Every structure is written in C-alpha cells, then in structure tokens.
Structure 1
Amino acid sequence: MMSQSNSEYDPIHYSKKAIGPPPAHYTCYRCGKNGHYIKHCPMQMDKSVEAPKPIRTSKGIPQSFMVKAEPGTKGAMLTSTGEYAIPAIDAVIV
C-alpha cells in the first residue's frame, strides 16, 4: 500500500530533462536559430562570435511619450508601427 501511494511522486514522472530534438517552435536564445537547445548551441563553443542582441519593444509606453530615433541609438526600441523610438524622458537626458 505504501509503495502504491508514493508511486505518483516518483521523480521519473516530473523530470524536466530534455530528451530528443527540440520542438519545432523552440528557438535558441543564444543564436536565435531553431534545431538545437541552448546547451548544444554552436555559438557557445565559439567565444569570438558575439550573440545578436534582441530588439526591445516599447510595449506599454504611449506613443506620445516616445521620440523617433535611429536604430543604432542607445536605448532605441521598436514601436508597434515598426519605427525606432526612445522615451522622451531619456531623449532629454541624452
């Protein structure tokens, strides 16, 4: 009776270890490509290649508080219209 009541809590039922290839929707967060987990990323071995920085989006910030900017500007975010902008308060400081 005791072994049956504890069988549900056996670690094999809740192990999170990735087995096999990743699902089709999985994207490696280091290189941004599909087909491998981050543990097996080819960029992990090659330290000379810098990982691309993710593009920040300006979710939750009203358009009236944003000032248009160039894509390379420090703190530039992608707006819902597809343009780059920085918050107006940061534009005053810079």
Structure 2
Amino acid sequence: MFFVIVLAVLVHLVSSKFDPTACGHTKGCFIPAEPECYNGCNGMQFSWYVVNGDLMQVELTVNAHTAADNAYVAIGFSSDDMMVSVSEDPAVYGD
C-alpha cells in the first residue's frame, strides 16, 4: 500500500505543470536565466505562495526528460549575507 501512495505522489509531481502566468499575481516566482545557474539553468523555476502565517506552498521545477538525466533543483533560504555568488534578484510578491 505504501508503494502505491508514493507512486501516486511521484506521478503527480512529474505530470504537474508550472504556470508562469500566475507569477506576481497569486504567487511569487523566481525564474533564473543563463548564466545565473551553475552548470546551466535547465528550465529551473521556483514559486511560492504564503497560505497563512505558518504555511508556504512551494513549487520547484527543472527540465528533465528521464531519470537518467540526473537533474535536480534546489533552493536555499537565508536571512543573512552568507550565501555569496548566487542570484539575488528573485521576484518579490507580497513583501
């Protein structure tokens, strides 16, 4: 049963589509362009929506056609200036 639940979640994640038209309206977005990403952006997209004071909905995507592409996407959060040499121009929504 656990395998079926995990598989359903993975299928949903793989088949989800990022909607950039909602950026700046109902969600905040950061969609970097070359050369902002180490080793290429590969279609990386990040969005966030503050559901309430304690909950944020986050969406991370990257172009990967198969598992053999070995692609990943990651985001880091920091309230100081210790994350150097990274893009610092995210779109701000609800600030």
The TM-score, its normalising length taken from structure 2, stands at 0.22
Structure having greater relative contact order (Cα 8 Å, sep ≥ 6)? 2
Structure with more helix by fraction: 1
Instruction: Tell which structure's C-alpha radius of gyration is larger.
Output: 1
Structure with more strand by fraction: 2
